């Protein structure tokens, strides 16, 4: 049993405009805060610890700077990470 509803062109246009306005408004609405907005997870300033981490990172970079196979671009890294996450290969 199908029911047919008639709608005139003006009413249809009003409905479409209303829906588009609501959707565009939703897209333009500011989103909630992200972790980038809140740096509390970083803990207190630790200049000595930061320097130690930096020196360690520089040492690792220098150790592998001639090994082209050890380097990858960001997109390749994200692809490999997604594969490992999808396969459950990452530790908890």
50-90 pLDDT, tens digit per residue, is: 999 999 999 988 888 888 777 888 898 899 888 888 887 77
pLDDT band at 17 (very low <50, low <70, confident <90, very high): very high
- Domain boundaries in the chain? 9-31+46-86
Instruction: Name the residue among 43, 41, 44 with its Cα closest to residue 33.
Output: 41
DSSP 37-86: G-GGGG-S--HHHHHHHHHHHHHHHHHHTT-GGG---HHHHHHHHHHHHH
pLDDT band at 1 (very low <50, low <70, confident <90, very high): low
- Tell me the whole-structure pTM to 2 decimals: 0.36
Intra-chain end-to-end CA distance of the chain, in Å: 55
The pLDDT value recorded for residue 37 is 73
């Amino acid at each position: 049993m199908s029911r047919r509803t008639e709608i005139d062109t003006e009413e249809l246009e009003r409905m479409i405009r209303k829906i588009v306005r609501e959707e565009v408004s939703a897209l333009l609405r500011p989103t909630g805060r992200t972790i980038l907005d809140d740096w509390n997870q970083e803990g207190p300033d630790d200049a000595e610890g930061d320097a130690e981490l930096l020196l360690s990172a520089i040492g690792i970079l220098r150790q592998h700077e001639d090994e082209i196979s050890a380097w990858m671009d960001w997109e390749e890294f994200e692809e490999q990470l997604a594969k490992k996450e999808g396969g459950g290969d990452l530790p908890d």
